[in-house]
Chain A
């Protein structure tokens, strides 16, 4: 894999560090995240591989198990009441929260290429991440780059751009995901994001011959009887190569076409439209 860091213009506008956070506070928050929560919820099944679990710290209802985000006047959940260090940090940021979630991404787990916020109102929405536990194989892939969100900073992501999340090898990646409304506090805190050297790794391009080889390998797996495995092996290519938007779903359709399964091929094209839908059509997590 290419390990150069030639960030394309505009990548830092899509994802980047906003400000440093106190290490001792983060350590305490990590301790809370690893010891307090139970009853993790698997939601947004269409958009993930399995292995992505969330609990809400701010939600519409105050119930931590209520993890489907929507516009609301969010209230602290009963889980946040048991996480005082996390509560103090969230209260200190001066933000207006729409929803705040604790998100755990297990090893070998993925949020497939998608866009967010499609179902929300026209209010100004923003997303921030606070990594609490991570590893170098975990990252966000967008704009042909893999960006590792390191612990220590508050990060901003513009999730209306097509992106995916991965934790290739583990251990668990645990982030706070803050969805908030625009206000003076946000503008002051997060108006400018930047990337440090080494944060982003440009993914290599793949030739058509290489992609054909991967499809052939997937067809072989499917013919051995492991169709699910074959599909996942192609979906993982999004995290390995810089691919045009939606290309990985085209590869899945091509695999099923090669297997003479036109229904499955068509289903993947439908899924592509769902995952990469614009605001008008919906698309959520």
Chain B
């Protein structure tokens, strides 16, 4: 076998995530206002497998940052088959911008695409703020910005990241986290699966609290039983949430299906309009994950 033949085999066996990476990079860099594109995570570290997610960081000219952020969901849904709006990523490294997690369809499967937007004025610092980042694209950028603009963008980022999540955003967060748990279980990464399972249950808690006791001064698990106990719906949600806490992290598809079903049941009790609004997306999500 010649080297050329091995190269062909490698190319033929290449995980689809690299095709998605090429397509996404090509599309994102169509904009003249995108000054940097990095890839992070397992793709940058050379540890990518068929289930790897795609971690992008895009530097956007400061004067266009707000517009780009406002357009991001439409861009991802229209161009990359995102089945849900983005989940505002609360666990990503802080690199001076805002990150979102999308679930995108590619070649009949669901992939996680993390999209972190950073103002171009801070984009050169990205490699120092994350474990590993490969620069895929850079464009000559002469900052037309001044200190006032940088401050304005920083304030915009702070306001966006500190804004309380809506029930729709919490539902998206839940679905993304459960998909992450699913991926970890399939890889046998049970510790990571446990960590994300804890986060998913906290998201269910937050959805219940924000939907049923929106004026509560408390946060986390503190006094949640007492606050929910005042109405039949609250008590039913409380009982179901308690049962959810007793479940072990899923170890296979059937257990994951059971967990998804329980989480959706609680969500439907707490926020029925939100679940109805996302009904088609949830149906497609379950089909892609092969859940009954």
Contact = CB atoms under 8 A, between A and B. Distances in A.
A170 B83 contact: yes
B150 interface: no
A29 to B, nearest CB: 19
Given A171-B287, A233-B74, A226 B31 contact: yes
12 contacts: A135-B284, A137-B283, A169-B284, A170-B105, A170-B108, A170-B288, A171-B105, A172-B108, A224-B64, A226-B71, A229-B75, A232-B79
Given A170-B284, A225-B30, A225-B31, 8 more contacts: A108-B77, A135-B284, A136-B280, A168-B280, A170-B288, A217-B70, A221-B71, A232-B78
Contacts of A172: 108
Interface of B: 30-34, 64, 67-68, 70-71, 74-75, 77-79, 81, 83, 105, 108, 276-277, 279-281, 283-284, 287-288
Interface of A: 1, 3, 107-108, 135-137, 168-172, 217, 220-221, 223-226, 229, 232-233, 236
A165 to B, nearest CB: 15
A51 to B, nearest CB: 9
Do most interface residues of chain B lie in helix, strand or loop, or is the interface mixed?
A: helix
A229 to B, nearest CB: 5
A135 to B, nearest CB: 6
B59 to A, nearest CB: 14
A234 B141 CA distance: 31
A175 to B, nearest CB: 17
SS class, residues of chain A in contact with chain B:
loop
B75 A221 contact: yes
Contacts of B108: 170-172
A169 B281 contact: yes
A232 B243 CA distance: 44
A132 B29 CA distance: 39
Contacts of A217: 70-71, 74
A106 to B, nearest CB: 9
B32 A225 contact: yes
A135 B30 contact: no
B105 A107 contact: yes
Contacts of B34: 225
Contact of A3 (B64, B67, B71, B276): B276
Contacts of B77: 108
A170 B31 CA distance: 28
A134 B79 CA distance: 21
A1 B32 CA distance: 35
Given A170-B83, A171-B284, A225-B32, A1 B71 contact: no
